[in-house]
Amino acid sequence: MSDKCTEVWRLFDEGLEALNLTTCSRWSASRRIMGPPFPGPYGWKYHPWVREILDSTATHNYAMKAAQMGVTEVCINRALFVLDQHHRDVLYVLPTQKNASDFSKARFNVALYLSPHIKQMFTETDSVEIKRAGANTLYIRGSRGDSNLKSIPVSDVILDEMDEMEEKAILMAMDRQAGQLEKHIWGISTPTLPNVGVHKAFLGSTQEHFIFKCPCCSKRTEFIWPDCVEIIGESHYDPRCHESFLKCKECKGRINHADKPLFLSDATWERTNFNCNPDVRGFAINQLYSYTVTPGELVVAHLGSMGDEAAATVFNNSRLGKPFLGEGAQITDEMLTDCVRNYTINDKRPTRPFERLITMGVDPGVIGYISVTEWFLPTLDSDPNAAATGKLVWYGHFGEEDWNILDELMREWQVLACVVDADPNINEARNFARRYPKFVWLTRYRDGNQAREMTIVDPDSGAPIAQIDRSNWFSCTLGRFKTKPPRIFLPADISLEYREHLKAMVRTYEKDEHGGLHMVYKNMGPDHYAHSLLYSDVGLRFAAAIQTNQDITKSV
């Protein structure tokens, strides 16, 4: 047979094969080549739960997953499958632009390098953010910054690690589908907090669990912690931990970890929530199912997390794929009630200039939020924020056109130091600061500052900006509610809205770019009053500096 005929038959065979690749799982197995730890054609022998996720036709799909469960590869395959077979544009969103760049250079480029068909799909790949496959485009973007997600009309949106994205960015990404007839949303993430991000989406979904037939008793069951693990060992240093084993929660029979590819091969996703739209599918998977994570490794991680909130957060989020809220991580109603005293926001104002140590914090926006706090310092300590007890004497709203109310409050309360968020109304904030030099400071949150140190930007501009670490200052401000007795008082007429804003801020832990854990505060709802109270706390540092002539940038 001539070379020309051979080529014709080859193209004919490829055409027939392409006609059969109507599902994402078939396409992935045919077109995707993987590297270690399971090199070769893409498959699901060691990740059997991914096949049905790959082939979901639901409009909304959410996966609440433990780490390293193969679900990110599902999203990569979905993006490539939609481009190749359905000829639709795809938006792939990651938390930050750096994440997007790393993904583009590593995960995407590796897929092209290993998979000849996928490499042939793309006509332009030089740009980090835009990959063209003929007439269609794969957009790879970070979620932060409105410009990253504007003017991108797509039918398919993939949100990778959505718990690290702001809700505003998620909604903006979804809005990119407004003009499309065919729409699909994929949201995946290791969960963080209850009723936030992927867990919130999962609660409104079909809430599907991966159910298998127990090799011991043949009952339909699932792996859950700790019911399905026989824990051996007394500490994470105990070598006997690696003797721990899986067991059926129904019959208590021992299940061999190495046999997972066998008994999980015919497992299926089963819906547990029937009070929702079936077109919103949700999947939950934990590391008890993993072939690469042994029961002993899970037990070591569990025992190592006991008494360590940061480690417990990682264990629950990354190992069990569950949201986690540590003890004392959130302000409670009981804490707030303990802080309420017998006074109101209409009580007596100062009668003489600066006779009381009063600061004001402002969180501006379309609606601005204000907290005015009086402070009681037993001594002029080197760390006034640690030594002082606060009393919230007034709070309220103002519209973005009503900045003059701040001038009235400065005079009414004889405010010694006012701290205003520099954004989003930077011009109004600067003008206000320049009307009260040395009394009004702007602020921005900035990663990298240690403890409660400050970095002062534009000190001679008349509107200096104090850059502060968000998490450390929230620990200081919210910590006042948690001590016995409390170090902050609230008026008897404190509103439900103010209470809810304080309760919205929750402490958790995340891995940094070096793999270390660091504390962060995330919001579980509107939180503006909490920020305004924090700014008034920062204001105490400026007020104390005026009285003691100390260095406000000092780390404490």
Q: Is residue 138 a contact partner of residue 131, using CB atoms and an 8 Å limit?
A: yes
Which tokens belong to 112? 């092209």
The residues, ordered by sequence, that sit 6+ positions from 335 with a Cβ below 8 Å of its Cβ are: 481, 482, 486
Residue 2 or 526, more confident:
526
The predicted-structure confidence for 492-529, as pLDDT tens digits, reads as follows 999 999 999 999 999 998 877 666 778 889 888 899 99
555 found inside a domain: no
15 burial level (CB within 10 Å; 0-12, 13-18, 19+): exposed
Closest by CA to 158, choosing from 289, 41, 66, 53, is: 53
- The CATH number that applies at residue 486 is 3.30.420.240
Out of 7-11, 311-315, 451-455, the most confident range is 311-315
Both 122 and 247 in one domain: the answer is no
Q: Is 182 part of any domain?
A: yes
Pick the range with the lowest mean pLDDT from 7-11, 291-295, 548-552. 7-11
Taking only the tens place, the pLDDT of each residue in 405-424 is 999 999 999 999 999 999 88
Read off the tokens for 329. Answer: 């991580």
- Say yes or no: 187 and 72 in one domain: yes
Q: 283 lies in a domain? A: no
Cis peptide before 239 (omega within 30 of 0): no
Q: Is the pLDDT of residue 157 over 80?
A: yes
pLDDT tens digits, one per residue of 115-144: 999 899 988 877 888 888 888 889 998 888
Half-sphere exposure in the Cβ direction for 316 (13 Å, CA): 19
Separation between Cα atoms, residue 200 and residue 167, nearest integer Å = 11
Inside any domain, residue 556: no
Same domain, 337 and 310: no
Residues 292, 432 within the same domain? no
Q: Determine, yes or no, domain membership for 140.
A: yes
User: Looking at the structure, do residues 433 and 459 belong to the same domain, yes or no?
Assistant: yes
Burial of 553 (C-beta count, 10 Å sphere; 0-12/13-18/19+): middle
Given 3-state DSSP classes, what are the helix, strand and coil percentages for the chain, each rounded to the nearest 5? 35, 25, 40
Q: Measuring CA to CA, which residue among 207, 224, 167 is closest to residue 504?
A: 167
Q: Which residues contact 44 (CB under 8 A, 6 or more apart)?
A: 25, 50, 51, 70
Q: Same domain, yes or no, for 339 and 218?
A: no
DSSP-derived letter for residue 51 is H
Q: What are phi and psi of 495, to 5 degrees?
A: -85, 160
| Residue with token string 């998979």 | 115
- Looking at residue 47, the DSSP 8-state letter turns out to be -
Q: Which of 203, 221, 247 is the last residue of a domain?
A: 203
Whole-structure pTM over 0.95, yes or no? no
pLDDT of 19 above 70: no
Which pLDDT score, from 0 to 100, does residue 510 have? Answer: 81
Q: How far are the Cα atoms of 330, 369, 433, 457, 503 from residue 521, in angstroms, in the given order?
A: 10, 19, 28, 24, 11
- Average pLDDT value for the chain: 89
191 part of a folded domain = yes
Helix (H, G, I), strand (E, B) or coil at 186: strand
Number of H helices, E strands in the chain: 19, 25
Rounded to an integer, what distance in angstroms lies between the CA atom of residue 106 and that of residue 479?
41
Angstrom CA distances, 339 to 329, 381, 391, 392, 540, stand at 17, 23, 9, 10, 19
pLDDT digits (tens, 9 = 90+) for 50-94: 999 999 999 999 999 999 999 999 999 999 999 999 999 999 999
List the alpha helices (DSSP H) in 324-425: 333-339, 384-387, 404-412
Same domain for 198 and 61, yes or no, is yes
Range of the domain at 413: 333-548
- In the chain, what is the straight-line distance between the N-terminal and C-terminal CA atoms, in Å? 82
Residue 480 and residue 541 in one domain: yes
* Amino acid symbol at 202: F
Q: Convert the pLDDT of each residue in 338-370 to its tens digit.
A: 999 999 999 999 988 888 999 999 999 999 999
Helix axes 528-548, 470-479, angle to 10 degrees: 90
At 411 the three-state DSSP class reads: helix
Average pLDDT over residues 432-436: 94
> Where residue 192 sits, what CATH number does that domain have?
3.40.50.300
* 221 shares its domain with 257: yes
Q: By C-alpha distance, which of 504, 256, 548, 362 is closest to 244?
A: 256
Query: Quick one: pLDDT at residue 8?
Result: 42
- 10 contact partners, CB below 8 Å, separation of at least 6: none
Assess whether 302 and 237 both reside in one domain: yes
Question: Could you read off the pLDDT of 197-220 as tens digits, one per residue?
Answer: 999 999 999 999 999 999 999 999
Cis omega (within 30 of 0) for bond into 226: yes
The DSSP output letter for 350 is P
Amino acid, res. 12: F
- The answer on 360 and 294 residing in a single domain is no
In contact, 533 and 540? CB cutoff 8 Å: no
Q: Which helix (H) or strand (E) holds 78?
A: helix 71-81
> Which parts of 128-196 fold into alpha helices (H)?
167-174
- pLDDT of 1 > 70? The answer is no
Beta pairing class for 184-189 and 60-65: parallel
Q: Which two tokens stand for residue 80?
A: 């490539």
Q: What is the domain count for the chain?
A: 4
Last residue of a domain, one of 168, 203, 238: 203
* Residue 384 falls inside a structural domain: yes
- Look at residue 52 and tell me if it is in a domain: no
My answer on whether 155 and 105 are in the same domain is yes
Measure the CA–CA gap between 450 and 519, rounded to whole angstroms.
12
